[in-house]
Amino acid sequence: MQTPLYRRAPVSLAPVNDEARIRAASLLAVDMARYLEGVGDLAYMNQALESLEPPKRAQVFGYLPLARQAALVKALPPPALGELLQALAADERADLLNHVDEALRQRLLPALAQAERDDVLRLCSYQEGTAGALMTSEYSWLPAQLSAAEAIGVLRGQAGEAETIYQNYILDGERRLLGTLSLRQLILAPEAEALENLMVTPVVHARVDTPAEEVARLISDYDLLALPIVDAQARLVGIVTCDDAMDVVVEHATEDFHKGASIAQHIGNLKTASVSLLYRKRVFWLVLLVFGNLFSGAGIAAFEDVIASNIALVFFLPLLVDSGGNAGAQSATLMVRALATGEVVLRDWLGLLRRECAVALALGCTMALAVSTLGLVRGGTDIAVIVASSMLVIVLVGSLIGMSLPFAFSRLKLDPATASGPLITSIADAAGVLVYFGIASQVLEL
């Protein structure tokens, strides 16, 4: 059996004594944060954090949810608060300040040195959801005129403050981005070689106003450890690391899951969410879809005479409308994912529509064949024809609705993820009822 890289040492809720400090120090920062978040007692959390060395304390604090961070700093005395803020990474300071109220912000800022205060205020000024709000200002950079040997000496001085030195950026006198150079390339280069001869160009980069999802996509597409971020004058102002990009991907995927289930917004930690919060996030769409489902009831009411004279039709109603909803949900899921990853764009709609028609017809024919025998047994030839033809049309209609609605939402500048799950099912159900009983009335009249 492979030896684990670390051991999750048990930590009790007893006072933080010397033994508890030793156990806490043996945990990885993320595991310590997860344990403290599970405890939930603010006084004990602060006591446990104070027992750690400042670098470890900042790491553990940075893994805690922002709401918990804000609650913890309120109880810290000024010396401890200043020590913690100094040890936090620049982007973590900015996230914390953006999450607290103005009164607490005014208490936090004086705990920072003037240069750090100016830096964190600049990071806080960028719009949420952009590269500027996601980046850190702690990066390593090198002048183009240095030799490889001189550059290594400069990096030694920057390593303590930089987020990463594995990827370094070559700048001119006005801090414009000229090229990039990995630590590996630098170590293997001849000592006297100038950096301008070693650097890699052009550099994949983003602007401060680039959406965070686009930043994550660039990092994924180009397999980057970090993505440089420039301002309007092409000056390097920060970097976004791959771990921050992963957080964006996870958050965006979580939001899409919630929207696909018609939940209004991201609810945060499900374990700690209150009944009131869960109710507020779910009630709007559920009530709205209740009225949407009235169309299905109206469709049934419009064909009461047909249903009354052919009661066998009722048996197949759930089977048919559910098949349309299922086919539509499948198509919507594929399209939402493709739009989110950039695999398809709005101009691809017509080509995809033709292909979806072919796929839906094949699926509909297969499903129609499967249910036609059941229709023959339950109601005879007429019912078999009605059920088989309805299945074909309903699957086709449901698939086309499911494929087209995400494109329509994108065209209207809305999130395509909203066009899935219960919304698609409700629309497909109403369409299925109308198609089924419309075909039934025509066939039975003949």
Residue in 226, 232, 58 with CA at minimum distance from that of residue 139: 226
Question: Which band of pLDDT confidence, cut at 50, 70 and 90, is reported for residue 113?
Answer: confident
Residue 106 lies in a domain: yes
Query: Residues 39-75: pLDDT tens digits?
Result: 777 888 888 888 888 888 888 998 898 888 888 888 8
Q: Is the pLDDT of residue 414 over 60?
A: yes
Residues 313-339 as b or e (16 or more Cβ within 10 Å = b): beebbebbbbbbbbbbbbbbbbbbbbb
Q: Give residue-wise pLDDT tens across range 170-181.
A: 999 899 999 999
Q: What is the mean pLDDT of the chain?
A: 83
pLDDT in tens, 382-401: 888 999 999 999 999 999 99
Residue 205 sits in the same domain as residue 98: no
Domain of residue 107, residue span = 18-125
Q: What integer pLDDT is reported at residue 185 of this predicted model?
A: 92
In this structure, the answer to whether residues 208 and 101 fall within a common structural domain is no
pLDDT in the model for residue 8? 40
Same-domain status, 118 and 204: no
Is 63 inside any structural domain? yes
Q: CB under 8 Å to 139, separation ≥6 — which residues?
A: 162, 163, 164, 169, 226, 228, 236, 238, 239
Is the pLDDT higher at 342 or at 345? 345
The token pair that represents 113 in the structure block = 């040195």
Distance between CA atoms of residues 231 and 71, nearest Å: 34
Tell me, yes or no, whether 231 lies in a domain. Answer: yes
Residue 198 sits in a domain of what CATH number?
3.10.580.10
Mean pLDDT of 265-274: 62
Handedness of CA 424, 426, 431, 432 (dihedral sign): positive
- 417 within a domain of the structure (yes/no): yes
Residues 265 and 247: their CA atoms lie apart, in Å, by: 17
**Strand order across the 226-230 sheet:** 206-207, 226-230, 236-241
- Rounded Cα distance, 246 and 73, in Å: 26
pLDDT of residue 104: 84
Which CATH number belongs to the domain containing residue 48 in this structure? 1.25.60.10
234 and 378 assigned to the same domain: no
Same domain, 336 and 399: yes
* Residue 1: predicted pLDDT: 35
Is 10's pLDDT higher than 50?
A: no
The answer to whether residue 199 is domain-embedded is yes
Which of 99-103, 265-269, 428-432 is the least confident region? 265-269
Q: 211 in helix, strand or coil?
A: strand
- Looking at 193, 216, 248, the residue that finishes a domain is 248
Rounded to an integer, what is the distance from CA 314 to the centroid of its chain? 42
Looking at residue 254, its pLDDT comes to 66
User: Domain tally for the chain?
Assistant: 3
Residue 169 domain flag: yes
